[in-house]
Each structure stands twice: as C-alpha cells, then as structure tokens.
C-alpha cells in the first residue's frame, strides 16, 4: 500500500507540472489490470474510457474468475470473443518470431510466482518442472472463434499494449486529438501537445525509481518497458522478477535490467519488450535487423550501460 501511495504522489506531482505548462491538463488515475492506469488529456476525461479498461480486464485477466480468459483456461476449449481470439492469434505469431522468448502458454508457471505475497519465495524445482511440461501444450485456433488450449494462457505480457491501443482509438473516435495514457509500463501517446511540442517519455533508471536515464520523443505511438524492477522479490539474497524465460520457467537471466520498445503498434511494443528482455541484446538486435517487425528499442544493462537502436529517438538526460 505504501508503494501505491508513493506512486500516486508522483503521478499527482506530474499532473501539477503538466498543468503549469499552459493549456489546462486533466489527469486521472485508476487501479486496474493490476497496475496504475492514468489518463492525461487537455479536456475532461470521458468516464467511458475507464469503463473500457475495466471491460477489457474482464476479458483478459488470468486470475479473475469471471473473465473470459479464465473460462477458456478452465474449460480448455471455448468459443471466445473475436477480440480474445485475435489477441491470442497475434501472440502466437510473435511467439514464433521470437523463438518462443515470448510465450503466452506460461500460465501454469506464472501461477507459481506470487509477487504479492507477504513472504514470497521461489517455487520448488519439482513445481517448476511440472509447470514447464504443462506449458508446452498446443493452442489451436479453430473454426469461427473457437480456441482449444492444452496450456493455461497468460496475456499479462501483451494485454496492456492492446488495451492502450483500444483506449487511444476510443478517445480519437470522440474527437479527442491529443493525450497520454499510461498502463503500468506501457505508454500511449497520441497527437502533439497543445503547444505543438512533441512529447518526451522519460525512461526510468532501473536502479532508482525517482531517476531517469533519458527520454524518448514520441508523438503517435507506444512505448512499453519491461524491467526486472517492476515486480520482484528478494529471497536468500537473490532477486526474482516477473519476466519468465519460457525455456526454464525461471525469471529470465542475463545482463539486461530493462528494455523499452517503441512502436506504432501497441501489442507489438508490449509483447516485444518482454521478448527482448528474455532474448538478450544480441538476439534482439538480430530480430531488429531481420526487419519483420517495425520497432525501435532502448536497452539498459545491469552495469548502467544504455544502448538504443538507430531509429529510437532516445536522448540522454
Ligand atoms: P508488465 O506486465 O509489468 O508491464 P511485461 O509487459 O514485461 O511487464 O509483462 C510481464 C508479464 O507478462 C508477466 O507478469 C507475466 O504475466 C507475463 N510474462 C512473463 N514472461 C513472459 C514471457 N516470456 N512471455 C509471455 N508473457 C510473459
Ligand atoms: Mg510487455
């Protein structure tokens, strides 16, 4: 709870700074999708956009017993909404293209990692082994919108990017031309600021919640950050975070502390930030150079080094 308060204070301070720059800014933050979701617009925030977030939560949550995904995971075969169907379809494609670094079949594994517990501890080797074998089952996209899945699906690495896209589209459909939406580590920017300036999205220093290493200039697009500092616990002096290497069932190891992915495609930005974290720098650059996906990335290494791809409009502080 204390952490939540801290973040709220930061958000509040942020909205005050924004307000002091001229055009009146309206900011609002709600807790949804297991994180803080905030909207910054230059007009009143339509309440429907919040309802939209909650309705997607009811579609994509792995843990909410009333969600559509929960029902699919329980029944193994179900007729689902077109949106759930297409998000799973897209996730499978990204999984293939990232050599399984991104893999939504890890539901049984993520269920073992309780980052919210008062006394979190890593699962046993046996538990991991069992969950790993359960995470290898095929997902079949059947006729109509039927899905059959032999593994429990977790959309935590991609849903926020999808919802960010939908929220922007909704606001635009109302004639709202500019704003910023933040869902946990996923930021959506649309339109220039009223003063004509491009938006600057600060990239957090993984070592310190109150510092940034630089910023990305962004007008229309998405920035998604996956970092080992977002959800983690320490046990016996070792850090366990929430980005899982699907080949081991354990938090992905390596020399990266966070990856920011910038793309016009919110789903891609979100899924790839998770995937690149697991892949590590060299394989990520290979994927980048293949050119099958249009994205840019900023990598922050554990030793503090920062590397950005050529097209990332990243500027150091
Ligand atoms: P956050 O959810 O904190 O914004 P990410 O976008 O990196 O961070 O997503 C991490 C979430 O995605 C985890 O909480 C888990 O639900 C899921 N996840 C973890 N590892 C993977 C993976 N290798 N492939 C797909 N999803 C993953
Ligand atoms: Mg992600």
Residues 145-192: pLDDT tens digits?
A: 999 999 999 999 999 999 999 999 999 999 999 999 999 999 999 999
Q: What is the mean pLDDT of residues 6-32?
A: 67
Residue 157 in contact with ligand 1 by CB distance below 6 A = yes
User: Pairing state of beta strands 179-183 and 35-41?
Assistant: antiparallel
Q: Ligand 1, atom 24: nearest CA belongs to which residue?
A: 102
Residue 260 contacts residue 204 (beta carbons within 8 Å): no
Task: Please report the pLDDT score of residue 295 as a whole number.
Answer: 98
**Cα(260) to centroid of ligand 2, in Å?**
9
Which of 195, 199, 184 is closest to 274 using CA atoms? 184
Rounded CA separation 271/101 (Å): 10
- 199: its two tokens: 């938006």
Rounded CA separation 233/122 (Å): 9
Task: Please report the pLDDT score of residue 23 as a whole number.
Answer: 82
pLDDT over 70 for what percent of the chain? Answer: 93
**Cα(43) to centroid of ligand 1, in Å?**
33
Provide the mean pLDDT of the chain: 94
Residues with CB under 5 A from ligand 2 (ion): 157, 226, 270, 273-274
**Chain centroid offset of residue 81 CA:** 22
**Cα(227) to centroid of ligand 1, in Å?**
10
Task: Please report the pLDDT score of residue 21 as a whole number.
Answer: 52
**Cα(269) to centroid of ligand 2, in Å?**
7
Residue 166 in contact with ligand 1 by CB distance below 6 A = no
* pTM (two decimals): 0.93
Residue 135 in contact with ligand 1 by CB distance below 6 A = no
Task: Please report the pLDDT score of residue 152 as a whole number.
Answer: 98
**Each residue's pLDDT tens digit, 112-133:** 999 999 999 999 999 999 999 9
Residue 183 in contact with ligand 1 by CB distance below 6 A = no
Lowest-confidence segment of 1-10, 84-93, 212-221, 244-253 by average pLDDT: 1-10
Residue 184 in contact with ligand 1 by CB distance below 6 A = yes
- 303: its two tokens: 């030793």
Q: Which atom belonging to ligand 1 lies closest to the Cα atom of 227?
A: 7
């Amino acid at each position: 709870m204390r952490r939540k308060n801290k973040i709220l204070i930061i958000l509040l301070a942020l909205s005050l700074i924004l307000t002091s720059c001229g055009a009146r800014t309206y900011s609002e933050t709600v807790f949804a999708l297991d994180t803080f979701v905030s909207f910054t617009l230059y007009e009143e925030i339509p309440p429907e956009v919040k309802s939209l977030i909650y309705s997607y939560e009811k579609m994509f949550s792995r843990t909410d017993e009333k969600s559509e995904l929960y029902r699919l995971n329980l029944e193994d075969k179900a007729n689902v909404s077109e949106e759930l169907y297409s998000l799973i379809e897209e996730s499978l494609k990204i999984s293939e293209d990232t050599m399984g670094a991104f893999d939504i079949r890890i539901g049984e594994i993520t269920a073992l990692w309780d980052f919210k517990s008062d006394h979190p501890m890593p699962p046993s080797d046996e538990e991991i082994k069992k969950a790993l074998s359960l995470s290898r089952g095929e997902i079949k996209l059947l006729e109509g919108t039927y899905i059959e899945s032999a593994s429990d699906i977790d959309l935590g690495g991609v849903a926020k990017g999808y919802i960010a896209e939908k929220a922007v589209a909704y606001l635009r459909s109302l004639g709202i031309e500019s704003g910023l939406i933040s869902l946990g580590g996923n930021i959506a920017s649309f339109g220039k600021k009223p003063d004509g300036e491009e938006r600057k999205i600060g990239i957090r220093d993984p070592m310190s919640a109150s510092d940034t290493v630089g910023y990305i200039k962004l007008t229309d697009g998405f920035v998604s950050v996956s970092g080992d500092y977002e959800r983690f616990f320490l046990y016996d002096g070792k850090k366990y975070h929430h980005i899982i290497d699907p080949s081991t069932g354990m938090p992905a190891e390596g020399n990266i502390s966070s990856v920011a992915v910038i793309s016009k495609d919110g789903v891609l930005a979100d899924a790839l930030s998770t995937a690149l974290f697991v892949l590590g720098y060299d394989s990520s650059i290979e994927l980048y150079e293949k050119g099958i996906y249009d994205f840019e990335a900023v990598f922050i290494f554990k030793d503090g080094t920062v590397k950005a791809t050529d097209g990332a409009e990243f500027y150091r502080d």
